[in-house]
Structure 1
Amino acid sequence: MRLVRSPVLCNYYVTYRCNATCGFCDIWERPSPYVTLDNARANLRDLRRLGVRVIDFTGGEPLLHRQLPELLEEAKRLGFITTVTTNALLYPKQAERLRGLVDMLHFSLDSPVAEEHDRSRGVRCFDKVMESIQIARQLGERPDILFTVFEHNVQQIRDMYDTICRPNKLVLILNPVFEYNGVDTGGALSTDALQQLTNWGRQPGVYLNDAFVQLRRDGGNHVDKPVCRAGSTTIVISPENKLVLPCYHLGLKDFSINDDLYTLYRSEEVQKMVALEGRLPACEGCAINCYMQPSFAVDVNRYFWKALPSTLKYNWMKGTWKQLF
């Protein structure tokens, strides 16, 4: 049973540029402009008309966009829930301008050991994350730690939780690694690692969408009975001001928006692409978190029930639950 027919999330790529060179990501390798404020204002108005509730200003590194505060201000003015994930290199300089504009602020941190985290990111940024935590707390912000879980660091969850998150009263978000486009992400998580994730998801102050774990146990999305609803739940906008379908990572086709996203999204050509969500050959086995999260929220199935407790838990911890209704 489908609960929601309209898209609920926009992954708004403000730039593909990044000041880190993470080995498990290839976005930073792409040439990229920055979105313009005028285009974004028009798109945000249309996103609201289409029913979108959450805007994820993403990249690349979103804080590289000098007008990110203005983009966030416009999104907040229109009533969106906003989210930003950053490596924190630029956060200390921009924290004051971002204050009060990000509902879900995530600092990426993949190890409680500075040398290991910096090596995974290709740049020294561990100390900036630690500095950013203190600055954010002084400003009354409530950032989360986004911990991408690989087979090699799953045993470090305990240290991350005990030494960084709990002392600073931060939510620990466990983000199971996913494979895409031939990028070397270290391989699939083992059965033992998946069970550890499930166990950690039950701890106070920890967010894990247990449907992510179940999907991996089931071998990911299957084209004969797809769980992915990337095209119908998530609108992806590129820095070139194009609508990307059926999702960013597959990116089979893009459409110039031309200041009328509402009409474009509802057009026959776009809706034909949306109807292919989860059914294309490359969709077999997919478990990309950023598309499965909204997919689990719109269809009442086993993944919906797996995801619901953790979703309610996180929004209760963050105080954003009232905005969902």
Structure 2
Amino acid sequence: MRLVSHPVLCNYYVTYRCNAACGFCDIWEKPSPYITLDNFRQNLKDLKRLGVKVIDFTGGEPLLHRQLDLLLKEAKDQGMITTVTSNGLLYPKYAHKLKGLIDMLHFSLDSPIREEHDASRKVKCFDKVMESIALARSLGERPDIIFTVFDSNIDQIQQLSEEICQPNDLVLILNPVFEYNGVGDSLTADALKRLTWWGKQKNVYLNDAFVQLRLDGGNKVNDPVCKAGSTTLVISPENKLVLPCYHLGLKEFEIEGRLHDLYHSEEVQKLVALEGKLPACEGCAINCYMQPSFAVEINRYWWKALPSTLKYSRIKGTWKRLLH
């Protein structure tokens, strides 16, 4: 049974540029402009009309956008829930300008060991993450740590939790690695079982539906769980609507100040109707699109996702905002 039939999330790519070069991501390889404030303001009105509740200001590294604070303020003024994930390199520089504007602030950390994290990111940023945590806490912010889990680093979850998250009262978000376009990796069944245990621990968040989907072999085109096209709007730095999702990106449409009408156009809706059904969708388990997909239709994945979703919403207080 479908609960919500309109988009709930916008993945707004403020730039594809990044000041790191993670091996499990290829976004940073793309040449890219930065979104303009005028285009964002136009699109924001239509996002609200379309029913979007959450805007993920993403990239690349979103803090490379020098007007990010203004973008966030515009979104907050329209009642949007805002989220930003950063590698921490620039957060100390802009922290005071961003204070109070990000509902879900995430710092990426791939290892509690400085040398291993820096090697993963191909830039020295571990110390900046530590500095960012301390500064964010001093400003009254409640950042989370996003830990992308591989078979090679799953043994470090306990150390990361005990040495970094618990002393700073941070939520540890476990982000199972996924594959796309020859990038990324997969997890063994044993690793997935261990993740399930960790997800039940205090102040640790893991969407159990991510684990179930991987055990099931990912999305099935003959019975798709993916609802990327109908739940998530993807807007590129070039001010284009990307469909059916960023990672597949079959087609891009110039928005030109008409996002609401464009989304409801026949051509776009034909692509939306193919969500999860295209050949490249077989076996997909991309977290960015599965998270909202699990939330809009009652099925086994909805029930699997529910406990962890309620847990995180209770800790962060975001459930109250979603009801408005």
Out of 221, 224, 230, the position equivalent to 1:223 is 221
Identify the residue that residue 195 of structure 1 maps to in structure 2: 193
Q: TM-score, normalising length from structure 2?
A: 0.99
Structure 1 residues 273-324: Cα deviation after superposition (integer angstroms, max 9, x where no partner): 0000000000000000000000000010000000011011101101111011
Identify the residue that residue 235 of structure 1 maps to in structure 2: 233
CA distance in 1, matches of 2:265, 2:77: 27
1:258-273 equivalence runs, <5 A: 258-273=256-271
Structure 1 residues 2-34: Cα deviation after superposition (integer angstroms, max 9, x where no partner): 000000000000000000011110000000000
CA distance in 2, matches of 1:71, 1:310: 29
1:43-122 equivalence runs, <5 A: 43-122=43-122
1:245-264 equivalence runs, <5 A: 245-264=243-262
Identify the residue that residue 316 of structure 1 maps to in structure 2: 314
- Residue type of the alignment partner of 1:239: P
- RMSD over aligned Cα, in angstroms? 0.4
Identify the residue that residue 286 of structure 1 maps to in structure 2: 284
1:131-142 equivalence runs, <5 A: 131-142=131-142
Count of matched residue positions in the alignment of Structure 1 and Structure 2: 323
Identify the residue that residue 168 of structure 1 maps to in structure 2: 168
- Residue type of the alignment partner of 2:75: A
CA distance in 1, matches of 2:45, 2:175: 31
The secondary structure found in structure 2 opposite 1:97 is: helix
The secondary structure found in structure 2 opposite 1:11 is: strand
Out of 281, 305, 308, the position equivalent to 1:307 is 305
Percent of aligned positions with the same letter in both sequences? 76
CA distance in 2, matches of 1:97, 1:50: 29
Stretches of structure 2 lacking an aligned partner (at least 5 in a row): none
The secondary structure found in structure 1 opposite 2:100 is: coil
**In the alignment, does 2:35 pair up with 1:35?**
yes
Identify the residue that residue 159 of structure 1 maps to in structure 2: 159
- Residue type of the alignment partner of 2:80: F
CA distance in 2, matches of 1:305, 1:315: 16
The secondary structure found in structure 1 opposite 2:130 is: helix
CA distance in 2, matches of 1:204, 1:233: 30
- Residue type of the alignment partner of 1:206: V
Structure 1 residues 177-221: Cα deviation after superposition (integer angstroms, max 9, x where no partner): 0000111x2x32111100111000100100000000000000000
The secondary structure found in structure 1 opposite 2:179 is: coil
Structure 1 residues 74-115: Cα deviation after superposition (integer angstroms, max 9, x where no partner): 000000000000000000000000000000000000000000
CA distance in 2, matches of 1:271, 1:264: 9
Structure 1 residues 33-90: Cα deviation after superposition (integer angstroms, max 9, x where no partner): 0000000001011000000000000000000000000000000000000000000000
- Residue type of the alignment partner of 2:306: L
The secondary structure found in structure 2 opposite 1:148 is: strand
The secondary structure found in structure 2 opposite 1:83 is: strand
Shift of 1:116: 0.1
Identify the residue that residue 210 of structure 2 maps to in structure 1: 212
- Residue type of the alignment partner of 1:50: L
Shift of 1:139: 0.2
